[in-house]
Copies of this chain bind each other. A is one copy, B any other.
Amino acid sequence: MQRQNGVALWRQIADRIRTSIADGNYDREGKVPPELTLASEFGVNRHTVRSALAALAEEGIVRAVQGRGTLIERKERINFPISRRTRFTQGIGDQAREKEGLLLASSQETPSPDIAGRLKLPAGSKVIRLETLRKADRRPVSRASSWFAANRFGGIAEAYAKTGSITAAFEAFGVKDYVRAVTEISAVHADAQDLADLGLSPGAIVLVTRALNCDMDGAPVQYSVTRFPADLVQFTIEN
A191 to B7 CA separation, bound complex (whole angstroms): 13
How far is B15's CA from A83's CA once the two chains are assembled, in angstroms?
31
| A79: chain B residues within 8 A (beta carbon) | 184
Instruction: Report the 6 A-B pairs with minimum CB-CB distance, sorted nearest first.
Output: A6-B11, A7-B203, A186-B234, A6-B8, A187-B187, A187-B230
Closest CB in chain B relative to A13 CB, distance in Å = 10
Which residues of A are interface residues toward B (Cβ below 8 A)? 1-2, 5-8, 10-12, 14-16, 19, 51, 55, 77, 79, 82-84, 179-189, 191-192, 195, 201-203, 205, 207, 230, 233-239
A202 touches B7 (CB 8 A): yes
Q: How far is the CA of A236 from the CA of B182 in the complex (A)?
A: 7
- Are the CB atoms of A5 and B188 closer together than 8 Å? no
CB atoms of B239 and A185 under 8 A apart: no
A2 to B237, alpha carbons, bound, how many Å? 36
A233: chain B residues at CB < 8 Å are 186
Nearest CB in chain B: distance from A81 CB, A? 10
Taking the closest CB of chain B, its distance from the CB of A170, in whole angstroms, is: 18
Report Cα–Cα, A98/B237, bound state, in Å.
Answer: 29
Chain B residues closer than 8 Å to A188, beta-carbon distance: 15, 19, 205, 230
A80, closest chain B residue (CB): B185
- List residues of chain B with CB within 8 A of the CB of A84: 239
Q: Do the beta carbons of A10 and B6 come within 8 Å of each other?
A: yes
Please name 20 further chain A to chain B contacts, defined as beta carbons within 8 Å, in addition to the given A82-B237, A179-B239, A184-B237, sorted by A numbering: A2-B195, A2-B202, A6-B10, A6-B14, A6-B55, A7-B11, A7-B202, A12-B189, A77-B186, A84-B239, A181-B238, A182-B236, A183-B239, A184-B236, A185-B235, A187-B187, A187-B230, A188-B205, A189-B205, A203-B203
Residues of chain B within 8 A of A77, CB atoms compared: 186
In the bound complex, do residue B207 and residue A187 qualify as a contact, i.e. CB atoms below 8 Å apart? yes
- Distance A84 CA – B237 CA, assembled complex (angstroms): 10
Residues of chain B within 8 A (CB-CB) of A182 are 236-239
Q: How far is the CB of A118 from chain B (nearest CB, A)?
A: 13
Which residue on B lies nearest to A195, using beta carbons? B2
Chain B residue contacts of A207, Cβ below 8 A: 185-187
